[in-house]
Amino acid sequence: MSSKTPPPQVNPTRLKTAIKMAISKSKFLQEKKTALVKQQRRQLADLLNQGKESSATIRVENIIRDDIYIELLEFIELYCELLLARISIILDINRTSCDSGLIEAVQSVIYAAPHTELKELTTIRDSLIHKYGIEFGKAAIDNTDNHVPEKIVKRCQIDPPSQELVTLYLCEIARAYDAPYSKLKEYEASQEEDEDENEEKEKEKDINEKGDNNNNNNNNNNDNDDDDDSPSGGQKELAEPIAEQQSTKPVSKAKAAQDEFDALKARFAALKSGK
């Protein structure tokens, strides 16, 4: 009789220590790089004040890359927190396949490990691949099954930032530090247009909601009349949702560019406080 091959076992102490260290170092790196980025923003504002827009345009790419990297570290920290919270599931020798509630975190850590300076992530990655198998590790690295979300994939890419994003950053820095920038007026004008569009949409929404409420009240009154005439009672049909009645308006280019970088714009709130 051939005995079954025992499932691969992971060193519990080594894995736990690596995860804890990864969380700790990730927090430290985030704080360090955030302070550095604030300093770089001030330097960039000085360049704009000196009229050196070409130099500022080149140097802002470093700030963008650092911001993206900081966000990647934030996600990695959260995934490691989840792995630590569910470490008993990972270490369970009877579980040979990855738990569905952990597969995103596990594969994202494996995928992102080479894109960070956290050596502990390499240890975690190797332990997870040893636990779940080489094929599982290859699927995570290639993201074959799309378990690694787009937010991680994008932040691991090393492509240069788009011109729209560069302009967006320079405009926000110029506004925060009261520095001159040639494209700032155009940017502010597009923002005002977007705000006006949003206000109009809100007004239309309020009007439609009021009209819908009135229609519902009228339908309820009609239903009450039907109930009086019919011994079995009337049952009203639900009106078509307003969202389905309205047609979608085309979105401006400026608005589309801003929507694409919503996650990064959260960083701009730190500009004013980081003067």
CATH number at residue 52: 1.20.1260.60
- Report the run of H or E that residue 54 belongs to, with start and end: helix 53-85
* Helices (runs of H) and strands (runs of E) counted in the chain: 13, 0
Alpha-carbon gap, residue 59 to 41, rounded angstroms: 10
Q: Count structural domains, the chain.
A: 1
Q: Decide if 123 is inside a domain.
A: yes
Domain range for 171: 12-176
Task: Quote the pLDDT of residue 243.
Answer: 37
Q: Decide if 212 is inside a domain.
A: no
Q: Decide if 60 is inside a domain.
A: yes
Task: Quote the pLDDT of residue 186.
Answer: 87
Closest by alpha carbon to 137, among 146, 147, 125, 148? 125
Task: Quote the pLDDT of residue 234.
Answer: 45
Let me know how long the chain is. 275
Q: Decide if 24 is inside a domain.
A: yes
Task: Quote the pLDDT of residue 235.
Answer: 44
Q: Which residues of the chain have pLDDT under 50?
A: 1-3, 230-260, 263, 271-274
- Report the run of H or E that residue 22 belongs to, with start and end: helix 12-49
Q: Decide if 211 is inside a domain.
A: no
Task: Quote the pLDDT of residue 179.
Answer: 94
Q: Decide if 234 is inside a domain.
A: no
Give 56: exposed, middle or buried? Use CB within 10 Å, 0-12, 13-18, 19+.
buried
CA geometry: angle 107, 14, 8, nearest 5 deg: 65
Residue 113 per-residue DSSP state = G
Q: Decide if 135 is inside a domain.
A: yes
Task: Quote the pLDDT of residue 196.
Answer: 58
Q: Decide if 34 is inside a domain.
A: yes
Q: Which residues of 151-177 are buried (b: 16+ CB within 10 A; e: fewer)?
A: ebeebbeeeebeeebbbbbbbbbbbbb
Q: Cα 64 to chain center, whole Å?
A: 15
The pTM for the full model equals 0.71
